Structure 1
Amino acid sequence: MRPNYHPEELFGDGTKKSDFDPYTEDDITKPIIQLWHLNGRCPKGTVPVRRTKQEDINKTSSGNSFVKKRRKSFSQLPLATKLLNPTAHEHSYATVQSNVYYGTQATINVWNPPVQDSNEFSLSQIWILGGPDSNLNTIEAGWIVYPYLFGDYNTRLFIYWTSDDYQSTGCYNLQCSGFVQTNNNVALGGTITPFSTYEGSQFEITILVWKDPKQNLWWLKYGTEIIGYWPTSLFQYLTESASLIEWGGEIINSKLNGQHTTTKMGSGHFAEEGYQGASYFRNLQVVDGSNTLRSPGVITVIAEQPNCYNILLQNNSDWGDYFFYGGPGRNPNCL
């Protein structure tokens, strides 16, 4: 099964271009393998599925709060809500809000941030959202370091979805019914390699999620690979379109011994350090009703704990709308 429609991008003169290649800088290299590729590939007609053990099932049971994600605080937006546990999840992110979005694309800088405790994570992702706070629908994709869920401190590709504000529906990757994988070359939950180094080589992934109006599916593309789709039947408020798009970083702050976590977001360096210092998202775009990738328009940036993790929005002709973000967590100004 393949999508009927693929979003097109506009050149500067307004003409459309297809199969846009975002990797234009000589000093930026894209990851081309996952670690499991070193041991072979999946045969035609099959898809790679990360082995599920009994301990994984126990972790993802409905009674375990560690593997449940939580809604952000939108006190600065009309769609206002509060975290169920405001000390647990912290974000630095960019957002746009409208009545209609049909997807988004962004290029994400890949890192391997240290995580203080096995129950904490550090991730960078896109969010596609719709619905009221009490029944939020989301589609999410990016990279994550989450030792509790995966058993190690590797940087991994992940997806997530929920149709009831993270209460009882949805899951990571293929741990529940929902997302349908059609690709035999990319493993959801697989380790991404290589990753960026401070003042060294930078590595990126590009993620595109878009709605196919004919098939009524939300498709996921990772680099040049179309991975699979979320049926709209999973959702109540993402059946036609989304009303909110977000890009950014998220960590869990367990406040062990009453102190802020040292878990790092992104590269672990503040946004002001810029390229080769801070982590970044670039070429932020949204898919409009004409199946075209466009600039998002007015973007709002929010850092919930700016002394711990911050964000800096910018724009230029090469990277379009982009931002640097992240931070070290606990420091003299973040206790």
Structure 2
Amino acid sequence: MGYKGWTIKTFLLLHLLIFSVEPTTEEIDNNLVFKMVQSADGQTFACVNFKSQPSLRHPSLKNHTDLVMPPISFPNSTYGDKGPKLYISNVEMSKIECPSGAVPILTSYNASMSTRSFDKIIYNEDGNDKGYRQMAAVVTAPSTFYGLQSSISVWEPDLGTGRPPRYSGAIAILQNEGSRVAAGWSVDPHFYGDNHVHFEIAWVDNDKSCVNVRCAGFVQMSKKVTPGIIIKPVSIINGKQYIIRVKIIKFFGDWVLKVGEEIVGYWPSKLFSRMSDAANIISWMGVVGAAQGQPFPPMGSGQPPDEGETKSAYFADAKVIDESGNLVTPALSRINTIVTEPKCYEVGRPSTSDGGLQFYYGGTGCSSSQPIK
């Protein structure tokens, strides 16, 4: 397939990513809660027995045997203590103290899980969606992938006022047709009840979907980092830049998620009809959502990519894991940039180095004189 043909096919595949499917949810059995804890940021978490977490109620995991899977080593990484540039620092997660044998599950959501789901960004077949979701993305050509890594700059854009859904974020996605996993950050006042930036994950398989940990599928392992938790500090224009380092890798048959040096958990391969073996497309993207008739909110830092260092949001150190299990930088000839609403957002010209692929992205959104039609 020539470049033009691949570009058209990729656009059609990515267009599916911004549509939605309603997520499944699982409630926490209060009899299985060891204790409730509150972070310094005011978030409430239930400490539940590792083997009793809601995610393990998924039908495919009834006889799941990987509960003590010990991810020990990963392919060599470019990650260093100081990141790709000296002024960049890792973010911190709120400290959560759960008893031994328990994992934290966020309970202090502002809204029903079904009213807004991160996975709406990464899948919807029928397009029957009342809101609009837009993206500015860099995407690989179809191939065989066993994981990804990326540093994602963390920002806290002011979304202004407007009807929900209304959010802004940045994510890395592994997919194979209707099967997808994603991790990144999001600001969503309606979902979380605040204007902070939160760590988020999602998975989708055809008509099944899940966001964070309160629904079936993702097996939480970390006692320190859990989906939905507030990330701080955040990057400041012309100030210090902060990042989260995300790695998703096929390990012992499952898709393991690592943030910084912490193994957060894993998506069992049994969840997926098309990604039990490998992914075939990887995407890094800024995303936003707004209700119909409302203007788009800012993406990333709220600045366009040509503002560059210390002003624009970016992805850096982006690599893929190939069939040999090596971390490699995607060739520029094998990636494409896609922006669904160019009048609002942009993707800067990607570049590569020994550290990996990097690019700036973002934008101010559209003013009230340019509402969604």
Shorter-chain TM-score bucket reads: 0.7 to 0.9
Residue in structure 1 matched with residue 358 of structure 2 by the alignment: 322
Relative to structure 1, the CA distance from residue 99 to residue 315 in structure 2 (aligned partners, 3 Å threshold; closer, same or farther) is: closer
Query: How far apart are the structure 2 equivalents of 1:277 and 1:330?
Result: 19
For structure 1, the residue ranges without an aligned partner over 5 or more in a row are 10-16, 74-80
Establish whether residue 3 from structure 1 lines up as the match of residue 71 from structure 2: yes
When structure 1 is superposed on structure 2, of 232-241 and 110-119 the one drifting more is: 110-119
Deviations 1:178-201 (A, max 9, x none): 000111111210000000011111
Query: How far apart are the structure 1 equivalents of 2:317 and 2:205?
Result: 28
Shift of 1:82: 8.6
Q: Is the 8 A contact 1:60 1:67 kept in 2?
A: no
Q: 2:99 aligns with which of 37, 43, 46?
A: 43
Establish whether residue 140 from structure 1 lines up as the match of residue 170 from structure 2: no
Residue in structure 2 matched with residue 302 of structure 1 by the alignment: 338
SS in 2 for 1:69: helix
Query: How far apart are the structure 2 equivalents of 1:68 and 1:127?
Result: 11
Shift of 1:292: 1.1
Q: Comparing both structures, which one devotes a greater share of its residues to helix?
A: 2
Instruction: Give the letter aligned to residue 69 of structure 1.
Output: K
SS in 2 for 1:8: coil
Aligned residues: 299
SS in 1 for 2:349: strand
Establish whether residue 288 from structure 1 lines up as the match of residue 317 from structure 2: no
For structure 2, the residue ranges without an aligned partner over 5 or more in a row are 1-68
Instruction: Give the letter aligned to residue 309 of structure 2.
Output: Y
Relative to structure 1, the CA distance from residue 46 to residue 171 in structure 2 (aligned partners, 3 Å threshold; closer, same or farther) is: same
Relative to structure 1, the CA distance from residue 101 to residue 330 in structure 2 (aligned partners, 3 Å threshold; closer, same or farther) is: same
Instruction: Give the letter aligned to residue 137 of structure 1.
Output: S
Q: Which runs of 4+ in 1 moved over 4 A?
A: 19-22, 64-68, 70-73, 81-87, 332-335
Describe how 1:37-116 pairs up with structure 2 within 5 A.
37=95, 41-51=97-107, 56=111, 59-61=112-114, 64=115, 69-71=120-122, 83-85=127-129, 88-116=132-160
Query: How far apart are the structure 2 equivalents of 1:189 and 1:72?
Result: 20
Relative to structure 1, the CA distance from residue 231 to residue 68 in structure 2 (aligned partners, 3 Å threshold; closer, same or farther) is: closer
Describe how 1:1-335 pairs up with structure 2 within 5 A.
1-3=69-71, 5-9=73-77, 21=81, 23-31=83-91, 33-35=92-94, 37=95, 41-51=97-107, 56=111, 59-61=112-114, 64=115, 69-71=120-122, 83-85=127-129, 88-116=132-160, 117=162, 118-131=164-177, 136-164=178-206, 167=207, 169-212=208-251, 215-256=252-293, 259-261=294-296, 263-297=297-331, 298-317=334-353, 319-331=355-367, 334-335=370-371
TM-score under structure 1 length normalisation: 0.82
Relative to structure 1, the CA distance from residue 274 to residue 83 in structure 2 (aligned partners, 3 Å threshold; closer, same or farther) is: farther
Shift of 1:107: 0.3
Relative to structure 1, the CA distance from residue 306 to residue 234 in structure 2 (aligned partners, 3 Å threshold; closer, same or farther) is: same
Q: Is the 8 A contact 1:281 1:322 kept in 2?
A: yes
Q: Is the 8 A contact 2:119 2:211 kept in 1?
A: no
Shift of 1:320: 3.1
Instruction: Give the letter aligned to residue 308 of structure 1.
Output: C
When structure 1 is superposed on structure 2, of 114-123 and 193-202 the one drifting more is: 114-123
Query: How far apart are the structure 2 equivalents of 1:267 and 1:178?
Result: 32
SS in 1 for 2:141: strand
Q: Is the 8 A contact 1:145 1:153 kept in 2?
A: yes
Relative to structure 1, the CA distance from residue 157 to residue 67 in structure 2 (aligned partners, 3 Å threshold; closer, same or farther) is: closer
Instruction: Give the letter aligned to residue 298 of structure 2.
Output: K
Deviations 1:55-82 (A, max 9, x none): 74xx224xx4666504579xxxxxxx89
Q: CA RMSD in A?
A: 2.5
Deviations 1:95-136 (A, max 9, x none): 0022310010000000001223342111100010012xxxx1
Relative to structure 1, the CA distance from residue 221 to residue 293 in structure 2 (aligned partners, 3 Å threshold; closer, same or farther) is: same
Relative to structure 1, the CA distance from residue 87 to residue 181 in structure 2 (aligned partners, 3 Å threshold; closer, same or farther) is: closer
TM-score under structure 2 length normalisation: 0.74
When structure 1 is superposed on structure 2, of 199-208 and 83-92 the one drifting more is: 83-92
Instruction: Give the letter aligned to residue 43 of structure 1.
Output: P
